[in-house]
Amino acid sequence: MKKLYEGKAKIIYTTDHPEILLTQFKDDVTAFNSLKRGIIPGKGEINCQISSALFKWLESKDIATHFIDQPAHSQMRIRAVKIVPIEVVVRNIAAGSLCRQTGLIEGKILPFPLVEFYLKNDELGDPLLTSDRLLLLELASQKQVEQLQSIALKINQYLTEFFASCQITLVDFKLEFGLDPQENLLLADEISPDTCRLWDQQTKSLRDRVLDKDRFRHDLGKVEAAYQQVRQRVLEKLGIR
């Protein structure tokens, strides 16, 4: 096994099969373009378990993903893909950068799910892209942009319903996609409290309801407990434990 790439939250290793890679999920956490760093003990395992369970479930709904299996709690075997350098964000409720950039009040339910594309480039601070910029930078073809949009909306429908069944509101989330050797778009990366905003429907307290990385971003405390809570509800609902 050779280390192929080390990112902020995951390490990717090669395997003896050229089309299969191994992802090791880390406990390290970063926010604000890595200005804030920390460790959430157990996060690697938790995020890997949540992501694996959700990828598997989405596969059963005919969403193609890079997920193969989970050989250990914090490891995922994945299909090797060429990552499309776009972060696809879907929003159901106003929060985070949408509020900062538009003045919308946090918590406002959006009249329709918003799909946004950001350039995956830390040096440039992951800027928001327009559809023309996407084409200009040749990040994806018009057809792929339409495909990304429609897959993201479908995933949003499935996940919103699923999290609601866990008494959790899916506020917004980020997806990444990759192209397999046949140029098929596969859902990649992870779906976890690191990449989603998740609000607990079982509490009215604005502070306590946060079950995601915002607890770390804004020093709300009990970060690990929140992640564990999400894992428990997700795995239980999917009959995994």
Q: Which positions lie near ligand UDP, rule CB under 6 A? A: 87, 89, 95-98, 126, 172-174, 195-197, 213
Q: Shortest approach of ligand UDP to residue 92 CB, angstroms?
A: 11
Q: What does the alpha-carbon distance between residue 18 and residue 5 come to, in Å, rounded to a whole number?
A: 15
Enter the tokens of residue 25: 């999920």
Contact call for residues 156 and 90 (beta carbons, < 8 A): yes
Exposed / middle / buried, residue 1 (Cβ in 10 Å: 0-12, 13-18, 19+): exposed
Q: Shortest approach of ligand UDP to residue 126 CB, angstroms?
A: 5
Q: Shortest approach of ligand UDP to residue 95 CB, angstroms?
A: 6
Enter the tokens of residue 119: 């350039």
SS3 63: coil
Q: Shortest approach of ligand UDP to residue 103 CB, angstroms?
A: 14
Of residues 9 and 145, the one with the C-beta less far from ligand UDP: 9
Of residues 20 and 115, the one with the C-beta less far from ligand UDP: 115
Q: What does the alpha-carbon distance between residue 62 and residue 55 come to, in Å, rounded to a whole number?
A: 10
Contact call for residues 81 and 170 (beta carbons, < 8 A): no
Q: Shortest approach of ligand UDP to residue 86 CB, angstroms?
A: 11
Q: Which residue is nearest to ligand UDP (CB)?
A: 96
Of residues 57 and 117, the one with the C-beta less far from ligand UDP: 117
Of residues 20 and 154, the one with the C-beta less far from ligand UDP: 154
Q: Shortest approach of ligand UDP to residue 54 CB, angstroms?
A: 14
SS3 62: coil
Q: What does the alpha-carbon distance between residue 178 and residue 18 come to, in Å, rounded to a whole number?
A: 16
Of residues 20 and 39, the one with the C-beta less far from ligand UDP: 39
- Cα 203 off chain centre by: 24
Of residues 10 and 213, the one with the C-beta less far from ligand UDP: 213
